[in-house]
Amino acid sequence: MGGAYDQGHARRQHRYQALRSWERYTEPPLTAAALAFLVVYAWEVIADLQGGQRATAELILNGIWIAFVIDFGVRLVLAPDRRHWLAHHLLDLAAVLLPMLRPLRLLRLVTLLGVLQRSAGTALRGKITIYTVGSVALLSLIAALAVLDAERHVPGATITSFGDALWWALVTITTVGYGDLAPVTPLGRATAILLMIGGVALIGVVTATLASWIVSLVTEESAAQEAATRAQVESLREEIRALRAQIEAPGD
């Protein structure tokens, strides 16, 4: 029993190390591929490419998609616990299945901007803030491109320019919802649903971050007051000891 367990544990450790090595070596080129995807996708949608240019853009996007599929498959095979790994990488799965979400891999770049010189709690709040800002910017841009691509040539559509699409995305993700612009196609409405869910999640993250910051401030202030009180009590004790020594001392 013990030998079988040790062998299984060794295999899992080997697969884990192989997975970490694969991710370490493929992260830079795949991040560059995600950036290239975002640029080409934006160029295709905003310029409304046709003919040979559109075919070239689609060829590049399909090539990047194949690279993402291969990376996802390799990581899934190398994962020690495939079910657990898949449950924690649903965003990567969505990036493979849904073309509009592939540039979300760029969010990994945001983690490099974490404040390394701060304490663990502050660094975590800073990382959450950076993730939030990066998520808003990327989701708004991607949703604007996706809804413009779906709506531009549809009769009765109100979102027909990139400016309108970006305005709609920002209004939707902040859950303001003026209603002046609205998608009419199934793909556009599906994009709106995902964006609204992202907006609600964003509000939750911002609220939780602010609450954590306020609690930490109150805790630090309470700790400072407690330290000052202890110092005052210790000073009073010293004075009492000195008075007691004077009282108990024999008269001159």
The pLDDT of residue 5 = 57
Name the residue with higher pLDDT: 119 or 84.
Answer: 84
Query: What is the pLDDT averaged over residues 41-60?
Result: 91
User: Contact at 8 Å (CB) between 196 and 139?
Assistant: no
The pLDDT of residue 106 = 54
pTM of this structure = 0.68
Query: What is the pLDDT averaged over residues 140-149?
Result: 88
Is the pLDDT assigned to residue 182 strictly greater than 80?
Answer: yes
Question: Which pLDDT band, with edges at 50, 70 and 90, does 188 fall under?
Answer: confident
The pLDDT of residue 112 = 42
CA angle 148, 154, 158 (to 5 degrees): 60
Which pair of tokens denotes residue 36? 């290239």
The pLDDT of residue 183 = 92
Is the pLDDT assigned to residue 88 strictly greater than 70?
Answer: yes
Domain 114-252 fold: Helix Hairpins (1.10.287)
Q: Which part of the chain has CATH 1.10.287.70?
A: 114-252
DSSP one-letter string for 237-250: HHHHHHHHHHHHSP
Is the pLDDT assigned to residue 114 strictly greater than 90?
Answer: no
The pLDDT of residue 164 = 93
